[in-house]
Structure 1
C-alpha cells in the first residue's frame, strides 16, 4: 500500500478551485505596532492557499501578520495503479481527505473521471478547511471535533469497518496511524498520494526582519511537523531567536514535537481560526 510516484496532473475541469501548489514568495513584513500597542504579531507558516483564512482572522482583530509559507506543495503524477483507484472510486464505501491540499488536488482529479459522485458514499474531512473544499464540490463530509488522524479514528462511523473498502487522499509520506488502525479494524484500505511537500525557494529576509522586530508580542502559527522542521532550517543562524517565540499549534502531538525541539508551544486543539485566535488571546493574558 505505497504512495505512487510523481508526475503531472491533468486538469480539464469546468469548475476549478484555486490552485494550492504553485510556489509562493513570502510577503514582506511591514511592522505596524509600537511599544505601547497591545496588538500581536503572528507569523503564519501554512502553504499560501491554506493561509488566507488564518490571515484574515488575525487581521480582523487588528493583529500584524506575516505570511511565510514553509511548505511548497508539488503535485504527483497519476501512476497506473493510482489511476485504477480513481476509475474504481465507486467501489469504496468511504473516502477520507486528510488535508486541504489532498481535498483540492484529489477532487479536481476525481472530477475529471466522475462528473457525478458515487451515491451512498461517505466522505470524511480532517478539519474545517478540508470540509469547506468538499462542500464546494457538493459533498457532505463528516468531520471530527479533533482535527487529526486520532480524531478521524474516533468517529462512530469508522469503528465497525470490517470488510469495508476505504480510500485515503493524502500527501506523500507522513504518519501511517490512520491507515494502520483502519487495517487493524478489518478495513480494506487504499491510498491515493497526490502531492509532495518541499522546502520553498524563497528569501528568508522577511523572516529574519520579523524575528528582529521587538515592538510587539509574537506568535508563530504552525499546522504540521514538516512545516516546523522547514521553518527551523530556514531560520538558520537565527534559530535561537526563533525558539524564543511561542508557537500555537493544531494538535497535542504537534505541541509535544515542538517542545522536544526546544520551543514553547500552545495547543489550540484544531485548525479553525477561532481556536487559534482564542489560544493566542489566552496565552497573552496568562504570560
Structure 2
C-alpha cells in the first residue's frame, strides 16, 4: 500500500470501536472512527421459563448477565460466535450457533426443533422481523423482550463530512441501522446526495445481505460483502479491496 487508506468505521464507542481501530491500523489503514450507535438499556430482562432463549448480541448478553438473569434450563441460542463467546464467559452454556450468522440462518437452524415450543427473543429495539416471523411460521410461540435501544450519538457525523469532501477511501458498515443513521445525519446537513456520491467513489463494505440490501436501496454501491459475518473479515476485505487503487 503506497499511501494510507482512510476507512470509516461505525462501531459503538466502547471496546468494539477500540479493537476496530487497532485492527484497521494493523492492516495499514487510517481509521476514521465515527460511532453511529449508542446503547440505552431499557432495564428489562428476558422472560424466564421458555423452552428456548435467543440472544442476538454481545450487548444483550452483558445487560442480561449484569441484571442477574440466567437462561436456566432453556436451550440457549446466539446468532454468532462473538455473542456465544461472551455468553460462555459469563458462565452460560450455548447450545445453538447457526452456520450463517443472520436471523434467517438462525431460523433455518431451529426450524425443525421449535414447533410447539416457547421461544424468548431478547435483543435491541431494531431487531429484524425475519427472526420473529420465521420462528412463528415454524410453529413456535414467540415473545420478544427489548433489552436496549439503539440511538445515534450526538457527536456522530465525522464520516459524513469526510465522505462529502472526498476524503474516504473506504467505509465499513456493520448493520442496516449504521447505514440509515449515516444517511439521516447527511440529510440533516443537507448533503445526503453528496455523501452517497462520496461513498460511491470509495470502497463500501457491509456485513451480510440485509445490510447490503439496505445500502443498495438508498443508492449506495456495495463493493464488499465478506463470506464471514464478522468485523474482522469485513475490515480485512475492505482494506484489501481499497489498497490496490492507490499508486505513487
User: Which stretch shows the higher mean deviation, 96-105 or 48-57?
Assistant: 48-57
Residue number among 252, 255, 259 corresponding to 2:216 in the alignment:
259
Any conservation in 1 of the 2:60–2:147 contact (CA below 8 Å)?
yes
User: 2:56 aligned with 1:101, yes or no?
Assistant: no
The superposition leaves residues 218-276 of structure 1 with CA deviations (integer Å, 9 ceiling, x where unpaired) of 22111111111111122332423244333211111211221121112121234324421
2 CA distance for matches of 1:185 and 1:209? 46
Q: How does 1:65-84 map to 2 (within 5 A)?
A: 65-78=31-44
| 1:192 alignment partner in structure 2 | 145
CA RMSD of aligned residues (A): 2.6
State how far apart, in whole Å, the 2-side matches of 1:227 and 1:277 are: 15
Q: Give the total of aligned pairs.
A: 236
The alpha-carbon distance between structure 1 residues 233 and 125, as it changes in their structure 2 partners (threshold 3 A), is same
Write out per-residue CA displacement over residues 105-134 of structure 1, whole angstroms, 9 at most, x where no aligned residue: 22322x2x55xx514x32112123322221
Q: For structure 1, which segment, 135-144 or 266-275, has the greater mean C-alpha deviation from structure 2 after superposition? A: 266-275
Give me the whole-angstrom Cα distance separating, in 2, the residues matched to 1:43 and 1:285: 14
1:46 is aligned to 2:3: no
Structure 2 stretches lacking a partner, 5+ long: none
Q: How far apart, CA to CA, are the structure 1 residues paired with 2:236 and 2:210?
A: 19
Query: Contact 2:172–2:204 (CA<8 Å) still a contact in 1?
Result: yes
Deviations 1:154-181 (A, max 9, x none): 22x4422112111111111432111111
What's the TM-score once normalised by structure 1's chain length?
A: 0.72
> For the structure 1 residues 278 and 209, does the alpha-carbon distance in structure 2 shift closer, same or farther, using more than 3 Å as the test?
closer
- Residues 178-237 of structure 1: CA distance to partner in whole angstroms, max 9, x if unpaired? 1111111111211111111222111635652476364xx722111111111111122332
Structure 1: gaps spanning 5 or more residues: 1-32
Contact kept in structure 2, 1:42 and 1:64, CA below 8 Å: yes
Partner of 1:224: 175
The one of 83, 99, 107 equivalent to 1:130 is 83
Aligned to 1:56: 22
Q: How has the CA–CA distance of structure 1 residues 166 and 275 changed in structure 2, closer, same or farther, with 3 Å as cutoff?
A: same
- Which residue number corresponds to residue 244 of structure 1? 201
